[in-house]
Structure 1
Amino acid sequence: MKKIIILICVALFISCSKDDLGQTEVKTIVINGDNTLTSTPKQLTVTVLPGDATNKEITWSISDPTIAVITETGLLTGLKNGTVKVTATAKDGSGTKGDKTYTVSGITGPTVFIQSIAITGANITNGQPLQLTTQILPANASNKTLNWTISSQAIATISADGLLTPRLNGTVTVTANSNDGSGKSAQIQVAISGVTTVYATTVRAESILLWQRNNGGWGKAVPDLNDYNLAQTDQQKAAALASKNNTDTTIDNGHVVTELRWLLADYKTTNNPNYLAAAEKAIDWLFLAQYANGGWPQYYPDKSGYRHQITYNDNAIANVMNLMWDIIKGKNNLELINPVYKDKATTAFNKGIDIILQTQITYKGKKTVWCAQHDEVTLQPALARSYELPSFSGSESVGIVRVLMLVEQPSAAVKQAVKDAVDWFNGAKLTGIATQKITDASQPTGQDVIVVSSPGNILWARFYDLTNNLPMFCGRDGIPKATLAEIENERRVNYSWYGNWPNSLIGSEYSNWKVKHGL
Structure 2
Amino acid sequence: MNTLKFSIVLLFLLTFMGCHVGRLTSAMAAPDSTDPVAERMLLYQRSNGGWPQDDGDDVAYDEALTEAQRAAVLADKSQDDTTFDDESTTREITYLLGAHQRTDNPAYLKAASMGIDFILSAQYANGGFPQEYPDTSGYHGHITYNDNVTIDLLTLLRKVSEGKAEYAALPATQREAAGRAVENGINSILATQYVHAGKLTAWGAQHDRNTLAPAPARAFEPVSLSGKESVEIVRFLMEVPQPGEDIREAVRAAVEWLDAVRIDGYRQDRIEAPDQPTGRDRIIVADSSSTIWGRFYEIGTWRPIFIGRDGIIKYELKDIENERRTGYGFYGHWAKDLIKKEYPSWEERIAG
TM-score, scaled to structure 2: 0.89
- The one-letter amino acid paired with 1:350 is E
CA distance in 1, matches of 2:69, 2:137: 26
Alignment of 1:329-344 (within 5 A): 329-331=162-164, 333-344=166-177
| 2:95 alignment counterpart | 262
- The one-letter amino acid paired with 1:303 is T
Q: State the Cα distance separating 1:504 from its structure 2 match.
A: 1.4
How many equivalent residue pairs? 325
CA distance in 1, matches of 2:217, 2:197: 25
CA distance in 1, matches of 2:335, 2:69: 40
Structure 1: unaligned runs, 5 residues or longer: 1-166, 168-195
Please identify runs of 4+ aligned residues in structure 1 that moved more than 3 A. Answer: 196-199, 222-226
Indicate conservation of the 8 Å contact 1:222/1:228, yes or no.
no
2:264 to 431, 451, 466: 431
| 1:177 alignment counterpart | none
What SS class does the counterpart of residue 42 from structure 2 fall into? helix
Distance 1:245 1:335, change over 3 A: same
C-alpha offsets along residues 127-165 of structure 1, whole Å, 9 cap, x if unaligned?
Answer: xxxxxxxxxxxxxxxxxxxxxxxxxxxxxxxxxxxxxxx
What SS class does the counterpart of residue 241 from structure 2 fall into? coil
| 1:465 alignment counterpart | 298
Indicate conservation of the 8 Å contact 1:328/1:342, yes or no.
yes
C-alpha offsets along residues 487-511 of structure 1, whole Å, 9 cap, x if unaligned?
Answer: 0000000111111111111222111
- The one-letter amino acid paired with 2:235 is R
- Work out whether 1:360 is the aligned partner of 2:198: no
Question: Which is bigger in relative contact order (C-alpha 8 A, separation at least 6)?
Answer: 2
- Work out whether 1:294 is the aligned partner of 2:127: yes
CA distance in 1, matches of 2:294, 2:264: 11
Alignment of 1:13-412 (within 5 A): 200-221=33-54, 224-225=57-58, 227-331=60-164, 333-412=166-245
Q: State the Cα distance separating 1:438 from its structure 2 match.
A: 1.3
| 2:20 alignment counterpart | none
CA distance in 2, matches of 1:230, 1:401: 36
- The one-letter amino acid paired with 1:467 is G
Q: State the Cα distance separating 1:234 from its structure 2 match.
A: 2.4
Structure 2: unaligned runs, 5 residues or longer: 1-25
C-alpha offsets along residues 210-263 of structure 1, whole Å, 9 cap, x if unaligned?
Answer: 110000001112755472122222232122111111112111111010110001
Indicate conservation of the 8 Å contact 2:220/2:307, yes or no.
yes
| 1:447 alignment counterpart | 280
Distance 1:332 1:250, change over 3 A: farther
- The one-letter amino acid paired with 1:390 is V
CA distance in 1, matches of 2:207, 2:73: 32
| 1:46 alignment counterpart | none
Give the structure with the higher percent helix: 2
Q: State the Cα distance separating 1:363 from its structure 2 match.
A: 1.8
- Work out whether 1:518 is the aligned partner of 2:342: no
CA distance in 2, matches of 1:468, 1:434: 22
Give the structure with the higher percent strand: 1
- The one-letter amino acid paired with 1:289 is A
TM-score, scaled to structure 1: 0.61
Distance 1:225 1:310, change over 3 A: same
Q: State the Cα distance separating 1:486 from its structure 2 match.
A: 0.5
CA distance in 2, matches of 1:235, 1:221: 16
Indicate conservation of the 8 Å contact 1:433/1:455, yes or no.
yes
Indicate conservation of the 8 Å contact 1:433/1:458, yes or no.
yes
Distance 1:350 1:450, change over 3 A: same
After superposition, the CA RMSD in angstroms is: 1.7
Indicate conservation of the 8 Å contact 2:31/2:104, yes or no.
no
